[in-house]
Copies of this chain bind each other. A is one copy, B any other.
Amino acid sequence: MFQTATRISDPSPMSPVRAAVATASEDQASSHRIATSLDRIRQSVAIQRRIVRQGDFVYQAGKAFAQLFVVNTGMFKVVNLSRDGREQIVALKYRGDWMGFDGIADHRHDCDAVAMDTGEVWSISYDALLQAGAREPALMATLHRAMSREIARDRGSLISVCTLPADARVADFLCNWAGALACRGLRTDQVTLRMTRAEIGNYLGLTLETVSRALSRLDREGLIRFVDKRRRELHLPDLPALGEFVRQGVEPVSQTLQ
């Protein structure tokens, strides 16, 4: 059942990969890594700080590429215009994330980056970065790690969309969000959705109605709790349970307990 769609070599004898919830020490390490990366950037290359407000473009598809961007504060969405001009959110970016890698290949951005609330981005000249990186291997390593991580994360999105039913996909989305917060040293029992149901659905390949229903069901199950009337802010009482719910989505009926 569901759209497992993953019947290549059925019961592969592998243990679960990527735990849904990282350990506290891993989170601490990530938090430290992000901070030191930002420091390194600031010290090694000329950056231009820019305050953005909700809806502001960091860059736009089609524009010439000359700079990379790093999120200092705030949250950003990366949007591709699909074939017919509709928008498809392909990534969400938080503090420490880079944006604009897609433009390197053809010296032209092929998506938009939009601020989802007030924040600060740093612009870095790509040429200057390359020069600094040639002198300073640690800086280049930081850049490469960021690109590598982006590739891995994009694939995670693909896996989620390809293998999970709607409710689990929404739960996975929340887990990932909480994980991103944890990596930045923030509390993970509470998240504020800075996006509409339509945007979440777009990102996850679902309709806004399905997202709304999924959230309602998760609330009914006790896996999440709405805290405000607008139902944007929500409490995650049990992150491991949420992760377990995601895993059940892949293997619906099996060793759920004991």
Contact = CB atoms under 8 A, between A and B. Distances in A.
A257 interface: no
A9 B80 CA distance: 13
Interface in A117-158: 130, 133-134, 137, 140-141, 144-145, 147-152, 154-155, 157-158
Given A5-B206, A130-B137, A205-B5, A16 B159 contact: no
Interface string A220-258: 000000000000000000000000001100110000000
A52 interface: no
A198 B8 contact: yes
**Copies in the assembly, this chain:** 2
Contacts of A61: 17
Given A140-B134, A145-B104, A14 B85 contact: yes
Nearest to A15: B85
B163 A5 contact: no
B105 A145 contact: yes
A207 B7 contact: yes
A199 B137 CA distance: 40
B90 A199 contact: no
B88 A6 contact: yes
A5 B211 CA distance: 10
Which 9 pairs show the lowest CB-CB distances between chains A and B?
A14-B85, A104-B148, A162-B205, A105-B148, A154-B154, A90-B155, A6-B86, A105-B149, A84-B250
15 contacts: A5-B207, A8-B202, A12-B87, A14-B81, A16-B83, A18-B83, A20-B83, A82-B163, A88-B158, A88-B159, A102-B152, A104-B147, A133-B134, A154-B155, A161-B162
Interface of A: 3-10, 12-18, 20, 61, 80-91, 101-105, 110-111, 130, 133-134, 137, 140-141, 144-145, 147-152, 154-155, 157-159, 161-163, 196, 198-199, 201-202, 204-208, 246-247, 250-251
